[in-house]
A and B are shown apart, each in its own frame.
Chain A
């Protein structure tokens, strides 16, 4: 297990490097710069500012300087939020995004699995059709449609929940963003669970378990569930990535002070260090969480463990 994890981490490092280099040069290749919005500034002032942020140097040299700084654990200063370093901004945004994302994942797993199992056990009955229709709709309608509709109905018409703001992560402020974020994942997870459950229950070893005289709940819990969860664990990586990217949009719509908010602000203002900082955190999180999913998979399926 240890060698498996360390080998995977060794592969993760070059991946991260490619992500960093890719986004660094892509950002610089995009037209515009951090001071374009400040049209009233004198050219000399802009020159001085550019020099202060090393933007007057060639791009490759900038990259070297950035990497050297990064190795010391310094993400650099933010350009837009002039009084803050990127590290400070991430320290504000990360807890918000983590809380939002984790809640969404847990909600998605809970409802997705539940809906899938209910569907599979009632295959081709009305409850199966209803659940799967809901899942299909949830999958087909994008978050930027779901989110405003939710705000409109629950925030403005029914006045049950606040339409935006974080309020230190209060429950009523979390409800709508979490639903909007989890909905597509619930859709995918419930379909996956249903398919996996139907597939596993057809296996010969399920017949063997029944032939041994085990009652059905023992057959399902003892012989089916682990195998049913395998495709779900495989999907956990992409699901986490989906929730993170979804979070970027959802945080913007609901005005939440998370990482996604800083990422979008940074990208719009060409705040290079801020964008780089958020990208690195996102990439690291996705790599680590995928690794975690693989470890769980290995734990569940003994055939994978030894390889």
Chain B
């Protein structure tokens, strides 16, 4: 356990540390289904610092989104979370709805992947945004409106006055996503979670949205969590990266170290999958095999069936997340990657 508590990064953290915004310890999420129990997240721990950007990388089903939905109390009704999540030292996991409502949108905000279905279709954009301020700040209509217009301009929505009165379907995909970002930023949250915010957008728009996040990470104290499967996004934006596989963290390291000296075969596989223009290869690389079945996770390492370096021990004993070198955690039986 000690190993998972050690925080990688520039300096050690503790609950008393003023820079630490959020501490997540041993977070576990499972879903009860008619076919049995599915464990989506298994004992995840991490800290978030003010102004830091943490990247969460993994395939679909690796538990990266469910981790943060659990923290926000937004799991599906058959989902259950356990462990501990503290925001400024105060427990926020499995607290009352009233308590959650005070935190969500105010201290803890999220930008979802799908802006098409993520905004209420029959409500004007202005109303959807200003209700965040009336709810949390008790602002009147006029004051909320002024603040919303200011925020819409900040995220570069042209003709904000006019757009304020429009409906989501009258916006383009990129503009809708910017509205989602504006909505999340209205109360200047301590933690902003971006759940694959650029996946549904085309490349040029992606770049604009990422620039928006980049500016945010550089100029505010908001801790940013960037959930993505795009390592390119991570490289350009994040300070640290957490790689997830089968509901567990397999590697956690500062971004440069992860890219230049990955310690887990899965991370290396992911890096190899990135198409590169500077290399003269004809084919795209892929990690062979399928993501693990969460209903029946193997007793050993979940990645072992797909791992090119797996040996006997990997299938029998699950590797724990341990410090490979200061600030760099990995969960692999191999001391060094061959």
Contacts and interface: CB of A to CB of B under 8 A. Distances in A.
B304 to A, nearest CB: 35
A60 interface: no
Interface string A178-213: 000000000000000000000000011101111111
B114 A204 contact: yes
A303 B119 CA distance: 13
B117 A203 contact: yes
A212 B131 contact: yes
Nearest to A209: B120
B118 A222 contact: no
Contacts, number: 74
Contacts of A216: 97
Contact of A213 (B102, B119, B122): B102
B132 interface: yes
Contact of A223 (B72, B123, B169): B123
A211 B109 contact: yes
Interface in B184-235: none
Given A222-B123, A302-B167, A303-B167, A213 B105 contact: yes
Interface in B115-132: 117-123, 131-132
A302 B123 CA distance: 8
A300 interface: yes
B139 interface: no
Contacts of B98: 215
A214 interface: yes
Contacts of A203: 117
B199 to A, nearest CB: 14
Interface of A is mostly: helix
Contact of A215 (B101, B112, B118): B101
Size class of the contact patch on chain B = 20 to 34
Interface centre among B101, B110, B112, B169 (most CB of A within 10 A): B101
Contacts of B105: 211-214
Interface of A: 203-205, 207-216, 218, 222-223, 226-227, 300-303
Nearest to A301: B122
A215 B112 CA distance: 19
Contact of B117 (A205, A209, A212): A205
Contacts of B120: 205, 208-209, 222-223, 227
A126 B312 CA distance: 53
A207 B97 CA distance: 14
Q: Which of A207, A213, A301, A303 has the most CB of B within 10 A?
A: A213
A227 B121 CA distance: 9
B135 to A, nearest CB: 6
